Structure 1
Amino acid sequence: MAEEVILLNFWPSIFGMRTMIALEEKGVKYEYISEEDVIKNKSSLLLQMNPVHKKIPVLIHNGKAICESMIQVQYIDEVWSEKSPLLPSDPYQRAQALFWADFIDKKLCVCGRGTWRAKGEELEANNKEFIDILKILESELGDKPYFGGHKFGFVDIVLIGFYSWFPEYQKFGNFSIELECSKLIAWAERCLEREKSVAKSLPDPEKVIGYVLYLKKLYGIE
């Protein structure tokens, strides 16, 4: 029996981008179902498959749902293990990759939202923290081509989706990531050379800006 793989996602989602990239890296064929109104009108399928958080992305494999993007990437890595691994096999290196992925989710996501939601002194403090977080990540990257070394892997997948939001962060936060973190920009451009996985999974940054303008209007943020 052929495997059935479905991804419930919404195109601006950094989290969904991770799952798409992991599936593409592994060469997994899947059906993409777009949740176009995840704010106001979630589909019955989404509510059925993710009744706890009621959020995308949701990976459905042979009728069984896997929720949360980092868990999905790990699941994809384990299930389709015959393809090149995304996580290191060495326990210490694996732990380090999971640590940095957790750091990205706990720190960068919050500050990213702050660039368009915060105002005044709060925005200024948010932006400083945001750049500091990027500099910490840039320091961890060092002179390596990718976070895991010479091979594109787990941490790269977790982080690269933010790149499509960089123009939005800069526009509404009024700062330059390229001036502050040029090595990180070079890393992102290297990742985008992976046309069949990264490049095809990331949306047009201008479209992201348009989406954020919609959110600002929706939430009454000027």
Structure 2
Amino acid sequence: MAEQEVILFGMCISPFSRRIELALKIKGIQYQYIEEDLSNKSPLLLKYNPVHKKVPVLVHNGKPIAESLVILEYIDETWQNNPILPKDPYSRAIARFWAKFVEEKILPTALKTIAAEGKEQEQIIEQVYQKLNFLENELNGKDFFGGGSIGYLDIVVFFIARAFQVNQEVTQVELISKEKLPAICKWIEKLLKIDVVNECIPPREKHIAFIRAHLEAAKSSSN
């Protein structure tokens, strides 16, 4: 059993930080949480993540690990109880494939909706829906992406999907709807009823305030 000297540098609004918190809670790992102000990064964060200078960073027995997908795999390999990645190599590869798809295809496209307007924005939203539909098909007929319980891909996708939902309340840019993505919406509702998941959801008012501030900054920089 690995020693329980675990520190997580995160930010409460960050879906990437929240992924790590959920994985740690599922595993029952005791950890110290340090909230970072990304406009005034701490010397420790810069020391532990000098390359990207961002959260999350997991420090285990003094050794730092950065990037949320890498951290999730590290956690699963280090603490082997309550596994989050499938044991079967093929299923593990599929879970990693979809995680990369979310990070490299869905997120960058969705972020383009912030600065876009009119017809350009409509086209980007349609692109996001097309990409999310691949996930919809992957999930269809299953309780969770991993099968019968919360797994790696559920952890990766959930906080992004939840951020989209909160974001659309502020921006009126709808990226997730019951009409177009019924399986994903049902899956989100199911996860929201799980206590350990609810413990990791960013505070609603803080989340909305963060989105509004981010939106104002984006508009100012484009003017």
Q: Contact between 2:3 and 2:61, CA under 8 Å: does it hold in 1?
A: no
Q: Secondary structure at the match of 1:29?
A: coil
Q: Secondary structure at the match of 2:179?
A: helix
**Per-residue deviation at 1:204?**
3.5
Q: Contact between 1:8 and 1:35, CA under 8 Å: does it hold in 2?
A: yes
Q: Secondary structure at the match of 1:178?
A: coil
Corresponding residue for residue 128 of structure 1: 126
Q: Secondary structure at the match of 1:55?
A: coil
**Per-residue deviation at 1:60?**
0.5
Q: Secondary structure at the match of 2:58?
A: strand
Corresponding residue for residue 163 of structure 1: 161
Corresponding residue for residue 58 of structure 1: 57
1:166-199 C-alpha deviation (Å, 9 max, x unpaired): 1313542533522321211110111222212x11
Corresponding residue for residue 15 of structure 2: 14
Distance 2:3 2:108 in 1: 40
Q: Contact between 1:112 and 1:169, CA under 8 Å: does it hold in 2?
A: no
Count of matched residue positions in the alignment of Structure 1 and Structure 2: 218
**Per-residue deviation at 1:134?**
1.6
Q: What letter matches 1:68 in structure 2?
A: E
Report the TM-score, using the length of structure 1 for normalisation.
Answer: 0.91
Corresponding residue for residue 191 of structure 1: 191
Report the TM-score, using the length of structure 2 for normalisation.
Answer: 0.91
- Which of 104, 107, 116 aligns to 1:106? It is 104
Distance 2:3 2:128 in 1: 44
Distance 2:50 2:116 in 1: 30
Q: What letter matches 2:171 in structure 1?
A: F
Q: Secondary structure at the match of 1:177?
A: coil
Q: What letter matches 2:121 in structure 1?
A: L
Distance 2:15 2:51 in 1: 20
Please tell me the root mean square deviation across aligned C-alpha atoms, in Å: 1.8
**Per-residue deviation at 1:216?**
2.1
**Per-residue deviation at 1:205?**
4.0
**5+ residue gaps in structure 1?**
none
Distance 2:150 2:3 in 1: 29
